Amino acid sequence: MRDWNVVVSVHEDGFVYACELLEQLAPIKRSPYYNVLVMKVAELPAFMDKLAEWIATDPVIMTYVSRVMPAQRSFDFASVDEFEAKAREIARAWAPELAGKAFHVRLHRRGFKGRLSSPEEERFLDGVLLAALEAAGTPGSITFEDPDAILVIETIDNRAGMSLWRRDDLRRYPFLRVD
């Protein structure tokens, strides 16, 4: 599935169960990576609410599904430079939502090993956002202790999905598990 917008990590014993459960909501496929699935979901908010409802009713789901990460924005890239240019553009578009807030960036990379470094790209995008906020006169700060928001990037080979999650989203959707 080339145009995924959700990445799902499953626990080793939960692969079949997770597939059977999640395929009720949208098409699901294996990725080339161990215990990682991808989905194409038409309506992300409805998908997230339904999954949260199922987990509230049956918390055992989380013993099979490790994390589910919907991507609010997605893009393809062929190089680190292209990844950085596209990620920078999306991050800057979200800067107004981070005005005066504490946040951090988290990158979960699969593929591009040796070329795309999660810590380096996280610091790069933290810097992009801090500079944009400073330029707008609404400085923010980086924190890992109870941040107001977390910008999450998932990559599978040369496709990336990005999302901005606020503190209330992280509480409402226990399956996000961003850090």
- The predicted model scores a pTM of 0.92
Distances (CA, A) of 86 to 20, 65, 121, 153: 34, 30, 12, 12
Check if the beta carbon of residue 150 is closer than 8 Å to that of residue 106.
yes
pLDDT digits (tens, 9 = 90+) for 10-24: 998 889 999 999 999
pLDDT, tens only, 48-102:
999 999 999 999 999 999 999 999 999 999 999 999 999 999 999 999 999 999 9
